[in-house]
């Protein structure tokens, strides 16, 4: 088994950051370095539509090109709902929701270690907003007390 490189982890981080910024859903990262001899990390994300899937692929290709990362391959069969970008130490799998459910990569790689994406991106996990406190209604002012006028 090959040791996980710092460069592979850094590449995983920048890919995840881009996917997060581009609104990919259900982003997960699996460390498969102990189970696989061909890659260290699998990034799995869900696109909201076919155009979104295509846009995520294009943006990742631009990112990898700008960092001079050689893509071993890109598989994006038309209308399959699944795109794979292979950057050797890091493989990115982009799915449409129903396709991701059908193939269940996380189930296939259940022996892999899952990496906390929020921690990887150095962001706090999104919290549910605290319930709003009810503002106290302003106290009703009492009308001035009436005093009886003395009769003259």
- Kindly list the domain boundaries of the chain, sorted by start residue: 6-120
Mean pLDDT across 103-127: 83
What pLDDT band is residue 122 in, cutting at 50, 70 and 90?
Answer: confident
Decide which of 1.10.260.40, 3.40.50.920, 3.40.228.10, 3.30.460.10 is the CATH code for 6-120: 3.30.460.10
pTM equals 0.76
Classify the phi-psi angles of 22: left when phi > 0, otherwise alpha if psi is within -120 to 50, otherwise beta: alpha
pLDDT(118) > 60: yes
CB-based contact 50:83 (threshold 8 Å): no
CB-based contact 24:47 (threshold 8 Å): yes
CB-based contact 76:83 (threshold 8 Å): yes
CA angle 44, 92, 97 (to 5 degrees): 40
CB-based contact 86:74 (threshold 8 Å): yes
- What is the DSSP code (8-state) at residue 88? S
pLDDT(55) > 90: yes
pLDDT(123) > 90: no
CB-based contact 13:7 (threshold 8 Å): no
pLDDT(1) > 50: no
What pLDDT band is residue 137 in, cutting at 50, 70 and 90?
Answer: low
What pLDDT band is residue 145 in, cutting at 50, 70 and 90?
Answer: low
pLDDT above 70 covers what percent of the chain? 78
């Amino acid at each position: 088994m090959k040791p996980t490189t710092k460069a592979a982890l850094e590449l995983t981080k920048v890919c995840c950051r881009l996917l997060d910024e581009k609104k990919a859903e259900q982003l997960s990262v699996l460390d498969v370095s102990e189970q696989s001899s061909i890659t260290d990390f699998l990034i799995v994300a869900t696109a909201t539509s076919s155009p979104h899937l295509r846009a995520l692929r294009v943006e990742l290709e631009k990112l990898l090109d700008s960092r001079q990362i050689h893509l071993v391959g890109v598989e994006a069969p038309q209308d399959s709902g699944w795109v794979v970008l292979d950057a050797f130490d890091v493989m990115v799998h982009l799915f449409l929701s129903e396709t991701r459910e059908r193939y269940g990569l996380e189930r296939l790689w259940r022996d892999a270690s899952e990496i906390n994406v929020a921690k990887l991106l150095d962001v706090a996990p999104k919290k549910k907003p605290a319930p709003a406190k009810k503002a106290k209604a302003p106290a009703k002012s009492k009308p001035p007390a009436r005093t009886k006028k003395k009769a003259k």
